[in-house]
């Protein structure tokens, strides 16, 4: 079993829709949770990061962490065609290694 599971998609939604992207994990030591966006042929770009449980909002993006269920989500409101990309969740145990464990990524397509 992978430490981090993420549905690969693709997820296709119309412009303006609310998008929900999710990851589950098995390692209860994970404390730091990140979402990256990766456009085709580009490096991952950090979108959101949260520490421990709770919600964090930044513009159209909301990151949610439920440590009791080992489940994290990224919500995108009013989705735009420019949001079409692969979204990767990443986690770390916040130890001295700074090691990130990534999900496999969900490919999102926002149709005009």
Partner 1 sequence: SAVISQKPSRDICQRGTSLTIQCQVDSQVTMMFWYRQQPGQSLTLIATANQGSEATYESGFVIDKFPISRPNLTFSTLTVSNMSPEDSSIYLCSVPKGIGDEQYFGPGTRLTVT
Nearest residue to 24 (alpha-carbon basis) of 94, 79, 101: 101
CB of 2 to partner 1, least distance (A): 9
Among 20, 51, 57, 78, binds partner 1 (CB under 8 A): 51
Pairing of strands 71-76, 85-92: unpaired
**Count of residues near partner 1 by CB under 8 A:** 26
Among 1, 14, 43, 68, binds partner 1 (CB under 8 A): 43
Asked if 40 is part of the footprint of partner 1 (rule: CB under 8 A), the reply reads: no
Contact 56, 48 (CB under 8 A): yes
Select the span of 11-19, 30-38, 58-66, 75-83 touching partner 1 (CB under 8 A). Answer: 30-38
Nearest residue to 85 (alpha-carbon basis) of 22, 18, 40: 40
Reported for 40-43, long-range contacts at CB under 8 A and 24+ positions apart, including other chains, are 40/85
Asked if 49 is part of the footprint of partner 1 (rule: CB under 8 A), the reply reads: yes
Asked if 58 is part of the footprint of partner 1 (rule: CB under 8 A), the reply reads: no
Contact 24, 68 (CB under 8 A): no
List residues near partner 1 by CB under 8 A: 4, 6, 8, 32, 34, 36, 41-46, 49, 51, 88, 90, 92, 94, 97-100, 102-105
């Amino acid at each position: 079993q992978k430490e981090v599971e993420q549905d690969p998609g693709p997820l296709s939604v119309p412009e303006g829709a609310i998008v929900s992207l999710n990851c589950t994990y098995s390692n209860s030591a994970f404390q730091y949770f990140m979402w990256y966006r990766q456009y085709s042929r580009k490096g991952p770009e950090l979108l959101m990061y949260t520490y421990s449980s709770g919600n964090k909002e930044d513009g159209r993006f909301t990151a949610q962490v439920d440590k009791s269920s080992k489940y994290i989500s990224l919500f995108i409101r009013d989705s735009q065609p420019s949001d079409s990309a692969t979204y990767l969740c990443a986690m770390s145990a916040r130890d001295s290694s700074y090691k990130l464990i990534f999900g496999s990524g969900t490919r999102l397509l926002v149709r005009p």
